[in-house]
Structure 1
Amino acid sequence: MKTTKENSTRRLVSADGASVETEVPQKQQSLSQKAYLKLITLISTFGGLLYGYDTGVVNGALPFMSREDQLNLTPFTQGLVTSSLLLGAAFGAIFGGRMSDKKGRRKTILSVAFVFLLATIGCAVAPNVEIMVFCRIVLGLAVGATSVTVPAFLAEMAPAERRGRVVTQNELMIVTGQLLAYIFNAVLANSFGELAHVWRYMLVIATLPAVALWIGMLMVPESPRWLASKGRSVEALNVLKKIREAQRAKTEFNEIEHTIQEEGKIKKATFKDLKLPHVRRLVLIGIGIAMIQQLTGVNSIMYYGTEILKDAGFSTEAALVGNIANGVISVLATFVGIALLDKVGRRPMLFTGMAGTSTSLLLIGILSIVLKDSSMLPYIILGLTVVFLAFQQAAVSPVTWLMQSEIFPLHLRGLAMGITVFCLFMMNFLVGLLFPVLFDAFGLSNTFFVFVGLGILSLLFIKRFVPETKGRTLEEIEHSFQVSEERYLAKEKRK
């Protein structure tokens, strides 16, 4: 590859099979183009903010919701109320992925913003457990749809060299939503804790970002890659020119068109595509990465942090304030992750993050036994959960969502992400449902030791199967897997 001061050369294969070199300008965006891309990123990631708030708010709402004069929750129904959102999210990922492929990324996000609004109001006024669970499932459908659509939308909008930074803005908004939930929970609980129904005010706040998302998406363009895949080439090029330097836009558009022509030889994406070895391999890797994020046990802390800190010795009000530390470190760590992703690489970050989270949980488990009667235990547990979340949010979570948006071919990106994120949320659902039951039956230490064992298995999976995607365009990533498959099949044929 030849490089000059202003340009770099990328070798592409044209539709007729000829090898050609194209110049990719290093001065890729004007200030106005960068600002427009930032605006698109900010607006679309309000979906991530809603995801974070709706999953984090239950952390503080549960103690009040569980009172006898409210919903009178048991450990099992606590898990059911918490995890029902995640059950809905699993199916929302499937339907949202298919809808985004068919109707477009923008229209899908617009639709789910309205669902967020209605379901949030339903949760806030729910008179009993049954209606609460139903509304949380509907809310989960919106969470799952945005979890698939927003990262794909951002990946298709971002230039290759900034894709890690842009896509992980969604993860930043997720943890920001959780932090806001913890802050509002603590403020409302300490100011209006005498009101038995204070939890309803905690929940209804989420209507504000839902309205902001819907209004904002009216001003955002459709993904150029999706437009091109539907034959709307002029619109696709025009969108690219708004977020890229002119020559870079044309070069990228030609690359997208070539990829679409190649994919045109493949029928419309269906589950039958899983018969293709390289597609099946990619989906299995995607499922594995998705499962790893949940096997750290992160959501046992994000959903039940208040209960964990209460068990360690804090009062309810103090535990709610302590949870703010978890939210703050999650946001700060995500900034670190965004800075590192396009410098360090996906694989080493994921491996380091898993090692750090597993070690933190091991220490929590051991010290909960050794220092059982110590007055310092609550502060030690809080400190270790902060360390755990630093590794989780700086490495594991950003890499998970970024790689979900990177490794799948364009024509089945929505379908494949739907499948892998379905698996992510089903595992999330099981953690959310079973953690309070296991916690109640076996205690904190033994429950966390289970997550440590799963973390060790996850490290082996990363070392053996997870690919590196840093610094490669989406089209290059797809081509590399196809070439790998062809080489494998040729080798098998020679045998």
Structure 2
Amino acid sequence: MTVVIASIGAAVQGWDQTGSNGANLSFPTEFGISDDHSNPHWRTNGWKVGLVNAAPYIASALLGCWLVDPLNNWVGRRGTIFIAGIICLVTPIGSAFTRSWQQLMAVRLIMGIGMGLKSSTVPIFTAENSPSSVRGGLVMSWQMWTAFGIFLGFAANLAVFRIGKLAWRLQLGSAFIPAVPLVLGVYLCPESPRWLMKKKRYHQAFKSYLRLRNSPLQAARDMYYVHCQLEEESLAIKESNYVSRFVELFTVPRLRRATLAGFVVMIAQQWCGINIIAFYSSSVFAAAGYNQLQCLLASFGFGALNFVFAIPAVFVMDTFGRRSLLLSTFPNMAWTLLATGLCFLIPDGNAAKLPCIMLFIYIFAIFYSVGEGPVPFVVASEVFPLTHREMGMGFSVSTTFFWASVLGLTWPPMERAMKPTGAFCFYAGLNCCAFLLIFLFVPETKQLTLEELDYVFGVPTSKHAGYQIKVWLPWFVRRYVLFNKSAKLPPLYDLDEVGGIEKDPEYTSLAVSAAH
């Protein structure tokens, strides 16, 4: 119940993306900023449309995500989610009543504050309440509900398609619907026991654990474990404040490695190009030659696939692993985007052009939904110790939202300058770059407790990267290319032994294990 109610707020984000997707076909004309060559300002209008689409992500990256730390400290996880829900309830309705593109942009900027708060807090809330054995599958509910919101948004676009000039207002305004159950239900959920213990409210924390675990014994075990962590962490953060916690993300070796991992998976989510489709699929299909109804139907198919193929990730997240999902899906996203771009070179009269473009976009959506879609928020929510979790998550989410705003802002002029073929091939190349960064700098975190994650991020970055190149890659070639079944992979970590990892000399005890 806790995971579903908290994560359903993600549907607001997905619905808003696709609401603006359909609205892109009509609101620019009403506000006089269409990309029509008959308009004397058509060259700058693409930037204006991009700015309206990117506005929520600009506000999230620059303000919303950075309010997560103080708001969580003052009102808790549930309070922060409630405030975010109110913002995401009011602003879509407000966007439906705007009278200029400037007003629409302003309302969407306010919406972005709520999106930043919600996106940074819900995965933390879910991760802290979930047992480590199923944490990945439960935390990825955030992405599954985002995908569901994308699907519902495309459905709403189709439902109001024939209304006429009011259609885009209903497409944008309908995004308030998923915020209703979030606002009404969040205080029915137990507050995060870890946050309550951080505030010295141990009796309430134990009551929360009793609701979240199968027996009082399990509740007591987990509570004692968190207590030991807090005792050690309190020694390191007596003088901690907002600024010092931010600085320590980059100066403390254990935190710096977690920050790097969170940064890489989040920036990869935008480099893969998913929001080209989420923001502009209707425009992309229009450029391919579809009419308005066909554009919305094709986008609806994309939304359906995005949701359906997010479901298998629930079952493989904690078995196949986060890192393995990323490394196996990024090459496939790269070739599908490359194929999509090349399909735009097919002559317009050829009947195969439109189906081929749609086919490769759909295959791209399938690979994204299983891999890069759910993994980033799971990784970012679990790699930071409790002392820096809000700050680290805020930084990670601001990274993906900043690059989402860059994508939303630059796609219209990029598509015009580079043509669809060049633009899609550009993002195919970024997929390759993201694959390389993940291979070198993102460790596996599946089914690891916070204690074990402390050991994982105790390994210096250079040692981790060297292991991937010198040990893991040769083993992979021998085992799966040369089919040598006797090939053995020496482990990088010895999690069965306390002190089994040769830690960095500068390593600090910000997330020291309960074994202390």
TM interval, shorter chain, is: 0.7 to 0.9
Aligned mates of 1:386, 1:97 — CA distance in 2: 38
- The counterpart of 2:502, out of the listed 468, 487, 492, is 487
Q: Which amino acid aligns with 2:59?
A: G
- Aligned-pair CA distance for 1:384: 0.8
Partner of 1:41: 3
- Aligned-pair CA distance for 1:358: 0.7
CA contact (8 A) 2:321 2:445 kept: yes
Aligned mates of 1:56, 1:473 — CA distance in 2: 36
Aligned mates of 1:125, 1:475 — CA distance in 2: 51
- The counterpart of 1:67, out of the listed 17, 24, 29, is 29
CA contact (8 A) 2:33 2:48 kept: no
Q: Would the alpha carbon gap of residues 477 and 489 (structure 1) be closer, same or farther in structure 2, given more than 3 Å must change?
A: closer
Give the match's secondary structure for 2:373.
Answer: helix
CA contact (8 A) 1:362 1:452 kept: yes
Partner of 2:495: none
- Which has the higher mean CA deviation after the structures are superposed, 113-122 or 173-182? 113-122
Aligned mates of 1:67, 1:241 — CA distance in 2: 56
1:263-278 paired onto structure 2 within 5 Å: 263-267=233-237, 268=240, 270-274=245-249, 275-278=251-254
- Aligned-pair CA distance for 1:476: 2.5
Give the match's secondary structure for 2:25.
Answer: helix
- Aligned-pair CA distance for 1:41: 1.3
Give the match's secondary structure for 1:111.
Answer: helix
Note if 1:257 corresponds to 2:227: yes
1:303-314 paired onto structure 2 within 5 Å: 303-314=279-290
1:137-286 paired onto structure 2 within 5 Å: 137-189=109-161, 191-192=162-163, 195-245=164-214, 246-267=216-237, 268=240, 270-274=245-249, 275-286=251-262
- The counterpart of 1:341, out of the listed 317, 320, 326, is 317
Q: Would the alpha carbon gap of residues 426 and 375 (structure 1) be closer, same or farther in structure 2, given more than 3 Å must change?
A: same
Percent of aligned positions that are identical = 27
Aligned mates of 2:407, 2:172 — CA distance in 1: 22
Partner of 1:292: 268
- Aligned-pair CA distance for 1:479: 4.3
- Aligned-pair CA distance for 1:70: 6.7
Aligned mates of 2:31, 2:116 — CA distance in 1: 32
Aligned mates of 2:33, 2:169 — CA distance in 1: 11
Partner of 2:364: 388
TM-score by length of 2: 0.84
- Aligned-pair CA distance for 1:104: 1.0
Q: Would the alpha carbon gap of residues 490 and 414 (structure 1) be closer, same or farther in structure 2, given more than 3 Å must change?
A: closer
For structure 1, the 5+ residue unaligned runs are 1-38
Give the match's secondary structure for 1:467.
Answer: coil
Aligned mates of 1:156, 1:248 — CA distance in 2: 15
CA offsets per residue over residues 108-145 of structure 1, 9 Å max, x none?
A: 00111111122122211110011100100110111111
Q: Which amino acid aligns with 2:64?
A: G
Note if 1:467 corresponds to 2:467: no
Q: Which amino acid aligns with 1:487?
A: E
CA offsets per residue over residues 17-41 of structure 1, 9 Å max, x none?
A: xxxxxxxxxxxxxxxxxxxxxx111
Q: Which amino acid aligns with 1:44?
A: A
Q: Which amino acid aligns with 2:227?
A: E
Runs of 4+ more than 3 Å apart? 68-73, 370-373, 482-492
CA contact (8 A) 1:109 1:149 kept: yes
Aligned mates of 2:86, 2:102 — CA distance in 1: 22
Note if 1:410 corresponds to 2:386: yes
Aligned mates of 1:426, 1:368 — CA distance in 2: 29
Q: Would the alpha carbon gap of residues 99 and 206 (structure 1) be closer, same or farther in structure 2, given more than 3 Å must change?
A: same
Aligned mates of 2:347, 2:123 — CA distance in 1: 43
CA contact (8 A) 1:70 1:197 kept: no
TM-score by length of 1: 0.88
- Which has the higher mean CA deviation after the structures are superposed, 263-272 or 74-83? 263-272
CA offsets per residue over residues 81-126 of structure 1, 9 Å max, x none?
A: 1011110121211212442244211000011111112212221111
Partner of 1:379: 355
Structure that is richer in helix per residue? 1
Aligned mates of 1:56, 1:491 — CA distance in 2: 47
CA contact (8 A) 2:14 2:148 kept: yes
Q: Which amino acid aligns with 1:221?
A: P
Partner of 1:136: 108
Partner of 1:8: none
CA offsets per residue over residues 165-221 of structure 1, 9 Å max, x none?
A: 1111111100100100001101211x31xx212111112222222222111112122
CA contact (8 A) 1:172 1:334 kept: yes
Partner of 1:326: 302
CA offsets per residue over residues 282-328 of structure 1, 9 Å max, x none?
A: 11221111101100011011110001111111101111011111011
1:397-476 paired onto structure 2 within 5 Å: 397-476=373-452
For structure 2, the 5+ residue unaligned runs are 36-44, 462-500, 508-516
Aligned mates of 1:145, 1:177 — CA distance in 2: 18
- Aligned-pair CA distance for 1:370: 4.1
CA offsets per residue over residues 459-492 of structure 1, 9 Å max, x none?
A: 1111111101111123321344247698343499
Q: Which amino acid aligns with 2:312?
A: V
Q: Which amino acid aligns with 2:207?
A: N
Aligned mates of 1:380, 1:300 — CA distance in 2: 18
CA contact (8 A) 2:458 2:503 kept: no
Q: Would the alpha carbon gap of residues 80 and 346 (structure 1) be closer, same or farther in structure 2, given more than 3 Å must change?
A: same
CA contact (8 A) 1:97 1:149 kept: no
Aligned mates of 2:200, 2:458 — CA distance in 1: 24
Note if 1:52 corresponds to 2:5: no
- The counterpart of 1:81, out of the listed 52, 71, 76, is 52
